[in-house]
Structure 1
Amino acid sequence: MKNYLAETSFIDYSNTEIKEISNTIYSPNTSDTDNAIALYLYVRDTIKYDPYSLTPNTSCFTASEILKAGKGYCVSKAILLTALLRSINIPARLGFADVVNHLSSKKLLERMGTNIFYYHGYVEVFLNDRWVIATPAFDSNLCEIAGIPPLEFDGKNDSKFQKFNDAGNQYMEYLNEHGSFPDAPYDLLLEKYAHYYPALVKSDSEASSGDLHLEMGSE
């Protein structure tokens, strides 16, 4: 279990800004479950979901840098939530799966070249003697634009992407599970993204531009 409480170069929870957030949200008079829910909601709604922020730079995978940027894609947000949870001594690890996303902007799908999101990231949290999934990727604002209820997390049941949107249309399918990791598998992710998304993953100077919130709103 100590591996899921450890600090790493990516999960750098002793960073001053991360500790400030933890100290602000954490309540010593409540349960681990309630504290985990509060941190989940913070990451889900405060950190803007931005798939265009994906770059090979390590800052894209470092919790303190993600917090500073105020945005990130699914893996980035999962890394930040993992760091915040470990900062209050709640074991957490990263999980990955390939998913089909039926709801995205035309621009993003064209840039990706597929509607399969490879190595989609989420968090597994150890609460009440069991691992439970939390997925903080899509913020409430984007969900409202897309007509999707924001994904809730109660600390007891796995929180995955909804299968259907408000209109009853299929939203997300899980294809392959890749297991859990105690730290961000940086080299593995870059290898997979470079293979599947060569037009999306670029150097900092060539970072993809776009705003999924605006794109979804205009479609």
Structure 2
Amino acid sequence: MGVQDFLAPTAFVDSAAPNVVEFAQRVAGAEADPVARAVRLYYAVRDDLVYTPYCDFQSPDTFRASAVLARGSGFCVGKAAVLAAVARAAGIPARVGFADVRNHLCTPRLRALVGGDVFYYHGYTELAPDGRWVKVTPAFDRVLCDKFEVRPLEFDGRADSLFHPYDRSGRLHMEYLRDRGAYADVPMSDIVATFAREYPRLMEAGAPAAVTQFRKEAGR
């Protein structure tokens, strides 16, 4: 598939949804340069949507961009889908990418629910504002990064921006273990099957009443 094939809406990267189109227009509609549009959209998705790993993973709305945007919160895959959707709505080719990672700085509750520190299908977004793919992770918002003492990821629209390997104190933060590739749409069935096998307790926990629960756990 060529770069331009990643502009059309899909089931989960539903870039034609009214709230997705409105968000893209409000955040980046006045910006003529596609690289600058990509940067504006990244920061808006990163910080306007609360990150939470506690979701109803059986629900398609956990993975669908328009639903995550309407809810104002989501986990890494949902936020990656939002960034891909608003980018497409702004005329920027976009796709969703996945990797297995080791996260050294998760909370005790999340570690217990996951059964360790390996996270499968960590979601990120690939954008091609100037015809060349760059990888960017919009998952952790600035407030959460401050609580974890991790520098929030910056993005200039031209270079990859994945997770920092160390936090502000020099402790290990994130290791990428296996790249699972990039897709035009979110492979929900594969993700749910993997989570059900690897994270049965997390699947059973569901979503808490407060989307800021993870922030509270991370508070220092």
TM-score range relative to shorter protein: over 0.9
Q: Please state whether the residue corresponding to 1:124 is helix, strand or coil.
A: strand
Q: State the Cα deviation string for residues 119-145 of structure 1 (Å, max 9, x = none).
A: 100001113231100100000000011
Read off the aligned partner of 1:197 and give its amino acid letter. Y
Structure 1: runs of 5 or more not aligned: none
What's 2:119 paired with?
117
Q: State the Cα deviation string for residues 135-181 of structure 1 (Å, max 9, x = none).
A: 00000000011111101111111101001110011111000001111
Q: Distance between the aligned counterparts of 1:125 and 1:23, measured in 2?
A: 17
What's 1:207 paired with?
206
Identity of aligned residues (%): 38
Q: Distance between the aligned counterparts of 1:23 and 1:66, measured in 2?
A: 18
What's 1:176 paired with?
178
What's 2:129 paired with?
127
Runs (4 or more) in structure 1 with deviation over 6 Å come to none
Q: Is the 8 A contact 1:54 1:200 kept in 2?
A: no
**Residue 100 (structure 2) aligned to one of 89, 98, 101:** 98
TM-score, normalised by the number of residues in structure 2: 0.93
Q: State the Cα deviation string for residues 29-63 of structure 1 (Å, max 9, x = none).
A: 43111110110001100100000024211000111
Q: Distance between the aligned counterparts of 2:33 and 2:143, measured in 1?
A: 28
1:34-73 to 2 correspondences below 5 Å:
34-73=36-75
Q: Please state whether the residue corresponding to 2:95 is helix, strand or coil.
A: strand
Q: Is the 8 A contact 1:200 1:208 kept in 2?
A: no
1:184-203 to 2 correspondences below 5 Å:
184-202=186-204
Q: Is the 8 A contact 2:100 2:120 kept in 1?
A: yes
Read off the aligned partner of 1:11 and give its amino acid letter. V
Q: State the Cα deviation string for residues 66-117 of structure 1 (Å, max 9, x = none).
A: 0111100000000010000000110001111000000011001001112001
**Residue 16 (structure 2) aligned to one of 11, 14, 17:** 14
Q: Distance between the aligned counterparts of 2:21 and 2:142, measured in 1?
A: 24
Residues 29 and 187 (structure 1), Cα distance of their counterparts in 2 relative to 1, 3 Å cut: closer
Residues 127 and 71 (structure 1), Cα distance of their counterparts in 2 relative to 1, 3 Å cut: same
Read off the aligned partner of 1:81 and give its amino acid letter. L
Q: Is the 8 A contact 2:8 2:15 kept in 1?
A: no
Q: Distance between the aligned counterparts of 2:182 and 2:166, measured in 1?
A: 26
Q: Distance between the aligned counterparts of 1:189 and 1:3, measured in 2?
A: 23
TM-score, normalised by the number of residues in structure 1: 0.94
Number of aligned pairs? Answer: 215
Q: Please state whether the residue corresponding to 1:187 is helix, strand or coil.
A: helix
Structure 2: runs of 5 or more not aligned: none
Q: Distance between the aligned counterparts of 2:31 and 2:97, measured in 1?
A: 29
CA RMSD across the alignment: 1.4
Shift of 1:195: 0.9
Q: Distance between the aligned counterparts of 2:169 and 2:68, measured in 1?
A: 33
